[in-house]
Amino acid sequence: MVMKNIIAVILAAGKGVRMKSNLSKVLHNLCGQPLIYYVLREVKKAGIKQVIAIVGQENEGIKRVVANSFQKIDFVQQKEPLGTAHALRQARGELKKEDDVLVLPGDVPLITADSLKRLISVHIKQNNSCTSISSYLPNPYSYGRIIRVNGKIIKIKEEKDASFDEKKIKEVNSGIYLFNSEHLFNALSRVLPANKKKEYYLTDVISLFTQQGLKIDSVSIPENEILGVNGRQDLSRAQKIMQGRVLERIFEKGVSIIDPATTYISEEVKVGSDTIIYPSTFIEGKINIGRGCRIGPFAHIRGDCSVGNNVVIGNFVEIVRCKIGTNCCIKHHSYLGDCLLEKDVNVGAGTITANYDGKRKSKTIVKQGAFIGSGTILVAPAKIGKEAITGAGSVVLKNKNVKNGEVVAGVPAQSIKKSK
């Protein structure tokens, strides 16, 4: 097999009209990451070293989000979104004719590196000019259809331009292809906006290849990898599939998830074995949860958090940007923001940290073995010493430093016992 240099080009300059959003389509959130993050991740996993992203004038924000997220990305601007062929044409200056070009839309977050590797190996083995990824869908609506004659791909027809019979074809275009660069750019320069949308369609390259007698083939993959996110329904469908994959990975670590249907866990979350996650729990961000914990039901953990082993985070507890030590127990109706809890801390029901004064967020430190009485308000910054106790309903004022072993109570909390 001749190994050519493969360069990925990600198309992300479209307006994303169907999302009806001010945010660029590929930046919409899927399990805690922008759509395009997953495309970049799988491209990297498939061993592609060079990536070019085509971005529009209005979605420069993409640069900030993805620059250096996985590997160095070169950005090329498409000034006006005149269609997928026009978008890809903008990359011409960046590519050599001996390269192979892997094209991916930025809105196909469910594609996997395994499928990309299969695409690459078929393309190289068969020495094709174009190998595309297709899928058979029971409901192919809205996708471009793969038109074959005697089993050979001859063109791709977009939904809007397809005839009644063509619309019945179940094999659809994923928008992912591997091209011989020279053949691609030759054909791209001949694509015309001769369709209902008056756009330059990348899919027209296929019929131009057919006319030239160039070799075209496809690999077919499951439906749940090719889903293109165009509107909000697509986004929620993709969310469900991606969530399933994230939970799969967590199950594999020896974690019980009582009700996957009501458990939302974002992509970066890590959970240790023998932890049980109860229903209606939402965990989003860079979060590490230890072994043997009990989380939920109705728990919300977000921001960057680390939770030690054997911790209980119970009903209606919200935890944000906290570090929580081993054996801590925060069982009911509490809000902890920007806290450091050392080990063996018991947080009584209804404890609230007042961590935001309207201008800045401040930290609360609770030392080992402290006991926070029910309904305590901790006005940050505050420090509760080792084995100290706050009485039920105490309000611990800002900058208060409760000493080791001290017992405080009341509003504002006063010392009622200096140490044990």
* Region 91-150 residues binding ligand UD1, contact defined as CB under 6 A: 105-108, 143-144
* Residue among 231 and 350 whose Cβ is closer to Ca ion: 231
Residue in the block written with tokens 């860079």: 286
User: Which position among 50, 84, 112, 353 is part of the footprint of ligand UD1 (CB under 6 A)?
Assistant: 84
172 binds ligand UD1 (CB under 6 A): yes
* Residue among 202 and 349 whose Cβ is closer to ligand UD1: 202
Footprint on this chain of Ca ion (rule: CB under 5 A): 107, 228, 230
Q: Judged by CB under 6 A, which stretch of 167-175, 186-194, 307-315, 325-333 contacts ligand UD1?
A: 167-175
Which of ligand UD1, Ca ion, none does 255 bind, CB closer than 5 to 8 A by kind? none
> Within 10 A of 239 (CB to CB), how many other CB atoms are there?
17
User: Which position among 7, 48, 54, 409 is part of the footprint of ligand UD1 (CB under 6 A)?
Assistant: 54
User: Which position among 81, 308, 369, 385 is part of the footprint of ligand UD1 (CB under 6 A)?
Assistant: 81
Number of residues that bind ligand UD1 (CB under 6 A): 29
Which of the following is catalytic: 28, 86, 183, 332? 332
* Residue among 230 and 334 whose Cβ is closer to ligand UD1: 230
Is residue 332 annotated as a catalytic residue, yes or no?
yes
* Region 177-216 residues binding ligand UD1, contact defined as CB under 6 A: 201-203
Residue in the block written with tokens 């075209």: 216
Which of Ca ion, ligand UD1, none does 353 bind, CB closer than 5 to 8 A by kind? none
Q: Closest residue to ligand UD1, Cβ-based?
A: 144
> Within 10 A of 165 (CB to CB), how many other CB atoms are there?
7
**CB of residue 153 vs ligand UD1: minimum separation in angstroms?**
13
| Active site residue ranges | 332
Please give the residue ranges that form the binding site for ligand UD1 (CB under 6 A).
11-14, 54, 78, 81-84, 86-87, 105-108, 143-144, 156, 158, 172-175, 201-203, 228, 230
